[in-house]
């Protein structure tokens, strides 16, 4: 058995002022010291029960963030992706509303629009692209985008999140029918939208059982 | 950095006499020596360029099979899945027509119906279940089942493959419309079905550019 380097990397995605954005951190150590990259680190065999625990630990330690949703993305492996040697990265992607990143307030976290991403070290550009593709594809037939909408949101706000991810306008009536079909939302009693709105709008939140898991649609949006 | 065991495991699936079946091999070494399990092995950092090369090498060495289609499934990792220590398995799944397994003729390969699978060592049962779920889900909107149909097939034969994977009868007209929409098949000139057929049936094969990659449908079957 030859030694293989085993790491985790996390693609933390949010909807920022410039659209879908990924959280990058300057690397503290060589290789690529000082270069912005995905938060990542070694698996700690003495602390982590599973790969997902390593991903959550690294994310919390390096960004202060505990994401509402984190899922395995894929593994990236090979002889050439890391100058230190043959390596495996178990890549995960996580979704958080923008205000969660703001509240965590980690000074090193930099959000970069996925449309404007320069080349990242290792194969992190490929990892980000794979995550964005997965998110966009899964947005078509699941409740995944809800994890970017914040704790409370109106249906027009949620529709704009779906539209931002899918890159196309959605029909309001069919969007609402699909949301009703998924049945993942609770109307929040007595809570209304900002006072500047022309008329008060109903607020929603995810049902408790869907705050850490997806619901899938049989037929997409 | 703590040492983590890095392996690959391959779920080799085929349509056998008992429906969708997985190839198992008796393990040559401890742990679980002599017990039927997925073909798998260590990553060889000095031979394999990527994880997928390790999967193809292990499959070829242990079963004699070079599958027409092999894809990354997921990683399975943790402290408790392997008695030797903290381990990562990069799991892949491959599809082969039954006659490819027969031609390879490896005496140790045993096909077991996925419906009748007893508990496998490590977390191999979970790996098989994940592969079957992925195959069934992807069958709804891609050319994936074609890799189980053999080199040449009639449309009724291909429809039976799709039906076996999706577990439900499909409407012949809409099945043929979806196949035409995918545009992955070439009619084979002058070749006909078995002489016992009431009337000769057109034979098809995958177009060359789709013999090692999928085509996806925007809307499923």
* Interface ipTM: 0.90
pLDDT band at B217 (very low <50, low <70, confident <90, very high): confident
pLDDT recorded at residue B26 = 96
B44 contacts in chain A (CB < 8 Å): 2
Residue B198, pLDDT score: 66
Q: Hey, are the CB atoms on B77 and A90 less than 8 Å from each other?
A: yes
Residues B66 and B168 in one domain: no
- pLDDT 10s digits, B7-63: 999 999 999 999 999 999 999 999 999 999 999 999 999 999 999 999 999 999 999
Give the global pTM. Answer: 0.92
Task: Assess if residue B221 is contained within a domain.
Answer: no
Query: A138, A172, A188: which is the final residue of a domain?
Result: A138
Chain A residues with CB under 8 Å of B79 CB are 45, 48-50
Backbone φ and ψ for A66, nearest 5 degrees, come out as -110, 105
| pLDDT (mean) for A46-60 | 97
Q: Minimal Cα–Cα distance from A203 to chain B, Å?
A: 32
Position A221 confidence tier, pLDDT thresholds 50, 70, 90: confident
Q: Is the pLDDT of residue A193 over 60?
A: no
Question: In B116-199, where does DSSP find H-type helix?
Answer: 124-139, 155-166, 172-182
Query: Above 70 in pLDDT, residue A11?
Result: yes
Chain A residues lying within 8 Å of B42, measured CB to CB: 1-2
A107, part of any domain: yes
Instruction: Give residue A145's pLDDT.
Output: 96
Q: What mean pLDDT is predicted for residues A69-86?
A: 96
Give the pLDDT score at A218.
77
CA distance B217 to chain A (A): 12
CATH code of residue A63: 3.90.79.10
Q: A91: closest CA among A128, A139, A37, A44?
A: A128
Q: What is the pLDDT of residues B178-209, one digit of tens each?
A: 999 999 999 998 766 565 656 778 999 999 99
**8 Å CB contact of A46 and B85:** no
B44 and B90 within one domain: yes
Looking at the domain assignment, is residue A163 inside a domain?
yes
Write down the pLDDT at residue B2: 60
Residue range B157-184: mean pLDDT, rounded: 95
User: Which residues in chain A touch residue B220, judged by CB atoms under 8 angstroms apart?
Assistant: 219
The residue from A138, A155, A183 where one domain ends is A138
Asked if residue B17 is part of any domain, the answer here is yes
Q: How many domains would you assign to chain A?
A: 2
Tell me the nearest-neighbour CA distance from A187 into chain B, angstroms: 31
- The confidence band for B100, taking pLDDT boundaries of 50, 70 and 90, is very high
Q: How does pLDDT run across A94-153, given as a tens digit for each residue? A: 999 999 999 999 999 999 999 999 899 999 999 999 999 999 999 998 999 999 999 999
Q: Which residues of B touch A50 (CB under 8 A)?
A: 77-79
**Within this chain, do residues B127 and B147 fall inside the same structural domain, yes or no?**
no
> What are the DSSP E strand ranges found in chain A?
5-16, 19-26, 36-37, 40-42, 69-78, 87-95, 110-113, 185-192, 202-206
What is the extent of the structural domain holding B188?
Answer: 142-210
* Beta carbons of A74 and B72 less than 8 Å apart: yes
CATH number of the CATH domain containing A159: 1.10.10.10
- Residues across chain B: 221
């Amino acid at each position: 058995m030859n030694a293989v380097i085993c790491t985790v990397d996390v693609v933390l995605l949010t909807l920022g002022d410039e659209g879908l954005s990924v959280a990058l951190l300057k690397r503290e150590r060589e290789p690529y010291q000082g270069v912005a990259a995905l938060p990542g680190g070694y698996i700690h065999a003495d602390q982590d029960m599973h790969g997902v625990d390593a991903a959550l630990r690294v994310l919390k330690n390096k960004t202060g963030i505990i994401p509402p949703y984190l899922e395995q993305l894929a593994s990236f492996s090979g002889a050439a992706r890391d100058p230190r040697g043959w390596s495996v990265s178990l890549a995960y992607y996580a979704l958080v509303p923008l205000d969660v990143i703001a509240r965590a307030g980690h000074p090193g976290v930099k959000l970069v629009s996925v449309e404007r991403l320069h080349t990242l070290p290792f194969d992190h550009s490929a990892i980000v692209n794979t995550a964005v593709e997965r998110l966009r594809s899964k947005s078509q037939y699941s409740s995944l985008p809800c994890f970017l909408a914040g704790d409370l949101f109106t249906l027009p706000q949620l529709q704009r999140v779906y539209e931002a991810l899918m890159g196309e306008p959605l029909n309001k009536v069919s969007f609402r029918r699909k949301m009703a079909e998924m049945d993942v939302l609770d109307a929040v009693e007595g809570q209304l939208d900002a006072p500047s709105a022309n008329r008060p709008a109903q607020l929603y939140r995810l049902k408790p059982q869907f705050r850490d898991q997806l619901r899938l649609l049989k037929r997409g949006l």
